[in-house]
Structure 1
């Protein structure tokens, strides 16, 4: 079977990091020029010395 593979390098605009204290809310945002309403953004956090942890879809 022929297989087609598309590799896209995302040019995402987002804050490199955000910090907060427990009980305080923050807003995170991310934009991409080609994102559509049917696309999904997966949010992860990575604490120092630890691997990425899934936050939300």
Structure 2
């Protein structure tokens, strides 16, 4: 079992995420983020591995975009009020805190 924690970063727009999510190695997981009052052009996703600082994963405006590592996709809703990060086949080393930011 591995655990992914999610924490929203607040800049000009407030974002909200589930506090944690858990899956088994190799079993896909979806991490969601709500940003109903977004003003920024892009939604950014970051990953913070234990003992390290946050590292940029992907940025998107709307629709879907592939994430190379960890393998997955980010989806931004047409109205841009929510987004999700799908990790297709997470490995034990992907256990981290995942952040969305607007």
| TM-score between both structures, scaled by the size of structure 2 | 0.37
Select which of 16, 19, 23 maps to 2:19.
16
Structure number with the higher strand fraction is 2
* 44 and 17 in structure 1: CA distance in 2 versus 1, 3 angstrom threshold: farther
Indicate the residue corresponding to 1:42 in structure 2.
Answer: 44
Counting only pairs closer than 5 Å after superposition, residues 22-37 of structure 1 correspond to structure 2 as 22-35=25-38
Q: Which has the higher contact order (CA 8 A, sep 6+)?
A: 2
**Which portions of structure 1, spanning 4 or more consecutive aligned residues, are displaced by more than 6 angstroms?**
none
Which structure's CA Rg is the greater one? 1
Aligned length: 49
Q: Which residue of 1 aligns with 2:74?
A: none
Structure 2 gaps, min length 5: 1-10, 60-102
Cα distance change of structure 1 residues 12 and 18 upon mapping to structure 2, 3 Å threshold: same
Alpha-carbon RMSD across the aligned residues, in angstroms, is 2.5
TM-score (norm 1): 0.57
